[in-house]
Amino acid sequence: MPKINRYVDIDTVEREAKKDYIDRHSPFVHCEDTAKAGEKFKVKVKVGNEYTHPDDFDHYIAYVQLWNGETLLGQATFTPGTLANQKSQVEVDFYIIPTKKMKLTAMAYCTKHGLWESDPKVVEVTE
């Protein structure tokens, strides 16, 4: 099992280099707090909030996953150069159809710095 890195509130970190390292690898789940059962629901996963990540041959975000608890909902896989070999933030929109309350978590894998996990986002599902 690989080591899983987690986001730490960068406001509590003193060194700018450490803030950059933590933020640019961390996935963030962006979506509404409520969804309607049986209807498409958009979930955006963005890697990096304030800082951008490299897109080099040996250092890039290889994939982003969206999980509901222990169930994998979707995955987007990337190759080097997807972002034109420029620093940027990987963003993926997933469209899912919820049936019950969800606890969404995103995972992102950096080819140089390993696996990173988002904070969970709870979504209430109404009828």
Residue 111 above 90 pLDDT? yes
Q: List Cβ neighbours of 56 (8 Å cut-off, separation of 6 or more).
A: 80, 85
Mean pLDDT for the stretch of residues 8-28: 85
Give the predicted TM-score (pTM) of the model: 0.91
**Which domain range does residue 87 map to?**
4-126
pLDDT of residue 15: 79
pLDDT of residue 1: 63
Mean pLDDT for the stretch of residues 4-16: 82
Average pLDDT, the chain: 93
CATH number at residue 88: 2.60.40.730
Number of domains composing the chain: 1
Residue 101, burial from CB neighbour count under 10 angstroms (0-12, 13-18, 19+): middle
Residue 22 above 80 pLDDT? yes
Mean pLDDT for the stretch of residues 34-48: 97
